[in-house]
Structure formats: structure tokens, C-alpha cells
A and B are shown apart, each in its own frame.
Chain A
């Protein structure tokens, strides 16, 4: 359940759209829910969002499964979303992904035992000029090299402590 404050925020988002088109608020409300409920969307969360927008659950699942920005399983504190589309792949995203896997001892879609890191692969994030790249939280990390990855991991660990 959202807090009163967040519920007001939901109402505000719904109010942006014409009467009867409250389904349009789905994506911003899902983002809000993901932020609020541990960084991922459980089916209970999605059902809750459906009830807020008065639409069927299946309509929420349809949207939430489409976007890689929505996590449908619990994730770690820091999510590495590595782009693997053409330009990044040509610039070595495969090696970056392999390096992260080995370094953190996890596979794609998995989370480290300490709950700190999750590795995801995503499609083009529109930063091909800075390939290979990944998204970490709200920021892009660009021109990745194994050294840069090491630094990013250290930085995250430092933040966690």
C-alpha cells in the first residue's frame, strides 16, 4: 500500500490524463511503485496498481513485462544494466558482461549473495556514441573497460558501507 503522500502523487499523475483514460498513468505509477516497494514489482504490487487505476491485472502485466526498466524479480541494491545492442556489442559489451559475471560470480539476471549487485542486459539505451555503456541507477556509465567496472564496483561497495 502506498502512503498517503504517494497516493496523492498517484492521483496527481492520473489527473494529467483525460477522464476515463487513467490507464495512461500506468508507467509513471509503476515507476513509483517500483521505487516504493523494494526496487521491483511483485505480482501483488502490479495487482495493486491495477486496482488503483481500475484496470485489469493483465493490462498491467502486459506493460510491466515489456520494459526492461521494470524488475519483475527482486534485485540488488545496485543494478548494472549493460547495453548489448549492436553498437555496444561491436565495442566489446560481451567482454564487459563476461568480466562482470566473473568478478561478481553471478549470471545475467542474478543477484550477488550479499544483495548488493544485480546484472541485467538491456537493449539500446540511446548512448551508442559512448559504447560500451551501462545504466546504473539514474546515471549512464560510458566507455566501459574492465578497470572502469572495477572502479564502479568499488564505488558501490563504498556507498553501501
Chain B
């Protein structure tokens, strides 16, 4: 490790870094704008100037930009040198000549990187007395607000949007004093990662438009570390509340999972928590007064429990605690996953693979660092957006690493590296049913039916490991493509294979496993990543319960059935016919959920459940990482409770021993791991509820939180007692331990002098590295070196049938999501329902774009307009999955078109 001297003190620093990274990693306060740990340096803003000295004798030194200078052994520099500090404050002064003095009305105020740096440099009196240049702002869509006057021309936005995220519709125009960052004209930003501009921009040019609707300063929010609910990746987020409303979501850095960035669905899809459609009161239907209080509800529940057969339907979007509490209430044999047989089968396959220890499943960070990626069947752009962003980094960075190995340019030197790399790219093969935005960075693509994609996978596996069976009747095209892909995978050191459940095809999972396992035998560390459908799909699947079809059979066999459905709209999870069949064989239906939906309409008893923001809960993401999501606020309405609390209370009705103590979430996790060895270690995913620092809790509120004594004065002039949180070490106060919290309990990033999100530097071991104390969460599946058992079972080639189509779901990043569409800006970008066929199929059937086509799925007829799909293989019908109000169809089944209306 090189030693450098900063202001005459010796420090050991990591080689290969630049001086700015070295200084920040050492915990020094050195201002910067354009450098970003995920995007490297360009030396544009001139803010991180330091003085470098030739040797010990040199007293004059020279000013350099620390972000553009490599660490060298024996290098001497000064951060506090008078010339350097003056230089930095002068840079701020000239930036300020055009920056408006609108901090009091700017959304960024209080979490503004520019404010922090201005204070840090000590520039506080403006000498510029002339007119400031002004711009016209643009409409950038319903999610991101644009206010160009605040711009300081650091170029971070375009570097992020274009270079990092691959967006095309944001750019920089004009020169010198007129530089303008925006679109070519008003319009919705096209990239689904546009929300990160809010955090990437060091000032208030790009701000969160959803927050604007119920604006609160960062210091006034009650925050907690939460886990995103909108896909299976489990991105870490910080959720903020004020006045009983969830106000915003910002990124919570986790170097292994989401790093610095979220997708727009995760960042903006939180409004469901504040929805008017929330279930707020326990209801017992068909009574004179349906809304009841807790006591009446419990009384009624005890009658429903005695003498009834209980059936519990779990949920892939409810926490493990809630699912386990339901299982504990109804008994393991009566607990069912609320998802269809086909999906349970595939998910079980995935759980078996992960828990077998035969293969390594990579984190998102490892996917970013992969040097060859094969996507088999999964449309990750729509089903796991941040994984698509990680794959993009792998493609771009592999090329950069290859190129910079030949020349002495450090990887952080962004502009130089890009100049050198030009159009070179790492290897990505995107083998999916339809075209995807990832295709443009793919070396190899294929559009085919899931079975054919699986056959390609098996063909690759056979080339990698000739002892595996050859794919019968493979076409020459498939053979060539398999050969090319296997060659690229063989050349890689860390190849990653990605597949998932969205094609509803188990052969894909098996083929992906065979490829990864075959690669593993060749002494490389191959990774196999799975994409699941919901935020806790893997957690529920790991409980290894039966499918919904089994629940129907069981309900039909028994009489007097009381079904308890946990946070699961069955009409979205299983075909409507099956949901109807189930309800008709149940005597009583008890539903716990957060929002009214078609399943809650069928409930005889409806119990209001807390959303993720109002609940503690543990979710297992796609890499089997169990992560704790903490309660952000307690609902003012005491009838809204965490499902596991309701279920534990109902459970206590069954025992004559009376009410034992209410179980804390960590105790439920302990019970879970003692009963199921596959969850071993899960109770370590977050510190227990009684964890304290010298007796103190960790406050959810900043020390600047305002109005505590007055904000409820309209109700009572005396200051209310702070709410007590018995379930976690976090408190609902401003007081408590302010030192470094264990990483799963960091409620927000703040450090003295660093009010903006950039303060995360102070929480990391090194810039862009791990959080101090390790990343939150516990991985439940690690590779153990077990010999893999290959699948060998190759499906027949897909053949289109006469007048019948294979029904597959098309997921939409904006639209396919039960909860995210409650955000108006997401709903407005969601497509209208449609039925898609290939051009050839449509022509053959004599159908035109827009024709109303009626299709029967699982006994129900659906009429939707036809949308002709350019890249869809023949023989497949594509229908958007999970749009608001749309039933789940029998995905993976065969359907025919019954009628057509032109």
C-alpha cells in the first residue's frame, strides 16, 4: 500500500485510486461536484483542488485537481493549504454568480450538495451584483422536476443519464455561459432510471416531483431503512414520513445490492401507502354495522376458528414474519402459497438449486463485475430493472478493463477510458422472447419461444460439458449461436447466467443451471442469478408450501372452511376462475390486506394490514439475501397493524393459556429458523429488538427535526409522549445514539457538514466500497462445493399450433405492479391492456392492429385490442401481466381466439 503525506501526516492508502478518493476514504472533508464513485472523474468542476509538492523541500507546490491525480507512494499534498482553500472558495464564488439565491424555496435545500460544499469552502459573501443568466425550464414528465437556473454545469446528469444508464433523450446544449441540460423539447424522460438524476444532481436542477406534492425537508422526515417492494431484487431504500404520510423514497447505499441507484418504480412507486383506497377499519360483512372495533373482530374470529377447517393462503409480497405467523396459526399442512402450481414448481426448482450449494448466485455488484453475461429468457428490463442497469455496467466496464490493461490509464479516469474504449463492449447475450432495450448493447440476441431458448441453453451446456446430452434436431443457426456464446463464456473469468420465472418455463431454469454448473467445472467462478416475481417470492418459496391448486382441492374436500388470505389479491396471482372456485368452496373468507382489491371484496372479514412503511419485516431477495425492512412510522389509526401482529393475536385466541407476550419480529424469525433449517442465520439479518448502544436507541429523526412540540397542538397543546417502538432498536424521537449505527439500522445518511446524500462517503470503508460493519442482510444460500446434478432433460422444439397460441405474460416496468400504479406518474405511463401476436400470425388469422380479439383463458373470456408485435416469434400470444384491473391468466397454457370484432 502506498504511503502519501497529507498536510505532513503520513497515511497508507489503496493503490489505483485518485487523490480525491483517497482523501474522502480517509474521512477528510474535500469538496467535489463532478466526481461520482460510480462514474469516475472528468475534472470538470475544478472544486477538489489540492496542492501537490514535488518533495519535502518544495514549499511552493502546485494546484492540481485531486480527482485527476493518481495516488503515488511518497506523494505529498496539502488539503488545507491557503492557495488551495482560496482556489476552492473562488470556484464556488464563480458558480454562485449564476446560481439563484432560492434555497428557501428550493426542494434540494437541506440535502443539497452545493449548499454543503459552499459552507465547506467558506465562501459566504457574494461580490457579484449583476444580472444572473436565466433559462426556460422543461417539462420532464410526472416524476422529475426541472429547474435549470440552479445548474452549476458539473455534467453529472448527462454522464449518468447517457453514459451510465444508457438514456438517449437528455443531453447538453450550447456552450460557456449558456450550457443547458435537458431534452430536445418538453416531454417525459424515457429512461426508467431517470429518478436517480434527483440524487446525482448536486443541486436542485432535478428534483423529485412526487415529493413536491407533499413537500418536507430532509431534516423534518422520520426515516427508516426499508426494502423496496416492487420486484425481487430487494433494493435498499430510505423511506421518509411526516404527518402520517410517506413522503419520499431515496436510495440507501448497499454496495452488494443496489449501490447508488434505484429504478423509477422503486423510487416513486410509494404512493400506495398514502392511498385513499387503504383498508382502514376491520369489517365484518353482512352485518348491520360492518365496521367493527378490535374486540368485536376478535370475538368474531374466535367463532370462525372453532369447529372450522383453517386454510391459510400466504403471499409472495408479505414479509416472512407475516407468512410464518399465518403458517403458525393454521398449521404447516394447511398453509399454501397463493400462487399457481406451475410457478410453485419453477420456484421450487430454483430453491432446490440455491439451497443445494452446487452453484454460486451473484449479488448485483458481482453481476456488474461479470465479464460475460448470458440472459436466458428473462425480460430483466421490465422484471428486474436495476439488474438490467448492473448488466449494462458489466458490458461497459468489461470493455474498459480489457482496454486499460494495455495502457497506463486508471479506470476512474472516465473521459480517457471512454475515449480509448470507443464502441468496444463486453459480452452480453440477450436471449429473450421479445426485443429489449438491452439488445443494443448485446453481442448476441435471439427471439424465440421459451422452450427454444431452453434448448439453446442446453446446446451451450453440451458444448461446455460434452458429457451432457446433445440437443436433438438443433438447427444450424442454434448450433452456431450456441458455439459463439459458449466460446465467450469460456473465455470469461466471471461469467454470469441470468434466468427467471417470468416465462413460466422450468426448462429455462434447468438449462441455465446446466450452463453455470458446466462452467464451474472449468475452474471459473460462474454465477447463476434468478429473477423472481415479487419482493418475497423466494422467501415464501423457501418455506416449501403447496400451491394454490392444492388449497382449492383441500377446500373442496372439507366443509366449514375458514380461509385466511394474507396480503394477496388472488385475482392477480392466479387465474380468475381458480380464485372464484376457491371462494365458492370456503364458508368464511378472512382477508388481511393493505388496499381494497377484488379479493378484499370477497372477504367476509376484512382486516386492515400495515404496508411495508408501517411494518417491520424481512424479505428474501432473488439472491437469497434476507433483508430487514424497518417500520418508518406507526399509523395514526391503531386498527392498521402489521399482519403478523393480527395473526399472532388471532393465534392467541386458539390457546387457552391466554395471551402470552406479543412476539417481536426477531423472535418470529428465530422460531422460523428453528423450524426450517433452510432459514438458518436469518435472525442475524438485523440486530434484535433489544439491541442498544449504551442503553440508547437509534433515532429515526434528525437532531434538526422541527415542530415536535407544536405539530400536534391542534389536538393537544401538551407535547405528546413519543411513540414507543418495541419491535426494533430504532426510536421515534430525535434523541439517542448518533454514532455509527449497524448497517441494517442506518435510518438516513448524514454527517457533520454533509447534509446531502453524499454523506454516504462517511459510512463507507472506502468511497464506493462496503458500509462500515458490512452490508445489511444475510445470504441464506452459499456455494458449498457440492457436485452438481445436471438436468439432462431437454424439451422438444417449440412448434406453433394451428389456431392456438402459447400464452405468455409481458411485464411492464410501469404498469405491471399492484402497488406502484397508485403513483399517478407511474399509472399514466402504464400501457392500456392489449393482446399481442406476431405480424405473421396476425396476417394468417386475418387480423389487423386494433381489432378487438376475444380470448378465453381458464373459462373466462377477455376482449382486448390486438397489438401486432414486431419481434414476437410465431405461435405465441403476449398479454400484459398485472395491469390494474386485469386478471391473471393461465400463463404458459394454450389459448385460441374465439371471436373478432373489427
Contact = CB atoms under 8 A, between A and B. Distances in A.
B175 A62 contact: no
B175 A61 contact: no
Interface string B145-184: 0000000000000000000000011011111100010011
B159 to A, nearest CB: 14
A62 B173 contact: yes
Nearest to B175: A66
B56 interface: no
Give the interface centre of A57, A59, A62 by most chain B CB atoms within 10 Å: A62
A56 B168 contact: yes
B174 A65 contact: yes
A22 to B, nearest CB: 13
B176 A61 contact: no
Nearest to B158: A62
Interface in A112-147: 123
A66 B173 contact: yes
A91 B176 CA distance: 22
B175 A20 contact: no
A61 B183 CA distance: 10
Contacts of A59: 171
A58 B169 contact: yes
A2 interface: no
Contact of B171 (A62, A67, A68): A62
Contacts of A61: 171, 173, 184
A109 B176 CA distance: 17
A91 B423 CA distance: 46
Contacts of A56: 168
A123 B176 contact: yes
Contacts of A67: 175
A110 B453 CA distance: 62
A39 to B, nearest CB: 19
Q: Secondary structure of the A side of the interface?
A: helix
Interface string B172-206: 11111000100110000000000000000000000
Nearest to A47: B184
A58 B183 CA distance: 8
Contacts of B173: 61-62, 65-66
Contacts, number: 26
Interface of B is mostly: loop
A58 B176 contact: no
A58 B174 contact: no
A62 B174 CA distance: 7
A122 to B, nearest CB: 10
A11 to B, nearest CB: 22
A59 B172 CA distance: 9
Contacts of A20: 423
Contacts of B172: 62
A58 B175 contact: no
Contacts of A123: 175-176
A65 B171 CA distance: 11
A58 B423 contact: no
Interface residues of B, number: 12
Interface in A52-82: 56-59, 61-62, 65-68
A62 B179 CA distance: 10
B131 to A, nearest CB: 14
Nearest to A72: B174
B184 A57 contact: yes
A58 B171 CA distance: 7
A65 B180 CA distance: 10
Nearest to B423: A20
Contacts of B180: 65
A40 to B, nearest CB: 16
A20 B422 CA distance: 12
A65 B178 CA distance: 10
Contacts of B423: 20
A123 B174 CA distance: 13
A95 B184 CA distance: 36
Most A CB within 10 A of own CB, among B172, B180, B184: B184
A19 B493 CA distance: 32
Contacts of B171: 58-59, 61-62
Contact of B168 (A58, A65, A66, A68): A58
A56 B440 CA distance: 15
Nearest to A59: B171
Nearest to A20: B423
Interface string B386-399: 00000000000000
A62 B172 CA distance: 6
Nearest to B177: A123
A20 B424 CA distance: 13
Nearest to A56: B168
A123 B171 CA distance: 23
A72 to B, nearest CB: 9
A27 to B, nearest CB: 14
A59 B183 CA distance: 11
A67 B173 CA distance: 10
A68 B177 CA distance: 12
Contacts of A58: 168-169, 171, 183-184
Which has the most chain B C-beta neighbours within 10 Å: A20, A56, A66, A123? A66
Interface in A32-47: none
A66 B184 contact: no
Contacts of B175: 65-68, 123
Contacts of A65: 173-175, 180
A59 B184 CA distance: 9
B442 to A, nearest CB: 16
B840 to A, nearest CB: 27
A86 to B, nearest CB: 13
A151 B861 CA distance: 84
A68 B174 CA distance: 9
B20 to A, nearest CB: 28
B611 to A, nearest CB: 39
A66 B174 CA distance: 4
Interface string A82-115: 0000000000000000000000000000000000
A31 to B, nearest CB: 17
Nearest to A64: B173
Residue among B168, B169, B171, B172 with the highest chain A CB neighbour number at 10 A: B171
A148 B183 CA distance: 43
Nearest to B183: A58
Contacts of B168: 56, 58
A68 B176 CA distance: 11
Nearest to B176: A123
B134 to A, nearest CB: 16
A60 to B, nearest CB: 9
A19 B168 CA distance: 21
Nearest to B178: A65
Q: Could you say which of B174, B176, B180, B423 has the most chain A C-beta atoms within 10 Å of its C-beta?
A: B174
B676 to A, nearest CB: 53
Interface string A1-29: 00000000000000000001000000000
A35 B551 CA distance: 76
Contacts of B184: 57-58, 61
A45 to B, nearest CB: 14
Nearest to A60: B184
Interface in B594-624: none
A14 to B, nearest CB: 17
A134 B175 CA distance: 19
Contacts of B169: 58
Interface in B123-139: none
24 contacts: A20-B423, A56-B168, A57-B184, A58-B168, A58-B169, A58-B171, A58-B183, A58-B184, A59-B171, A61-B171, A61-B173, A61-B184, A62-B172, A62-B173, A65-B173, A65-B174, A65-B175, A65-B180, A66-B173, A66-B174, A66-B175, A67-B175, A123-B175, A123-B176
Closest 8 CB pairs of A and B: A65-B173, A65-B174, A58-B184, A62-B171, A66-B175, A58-B171, A61-B184, A57-B184
Given A56-B168, A61-B173, A65-B173, 11 more contacts: A20-B423, A59-B171, A61-B184, A65-B174, A65-B175, A65-B180, A66-B173, A66-B174, A68-B175, A123-B175, A123-B176
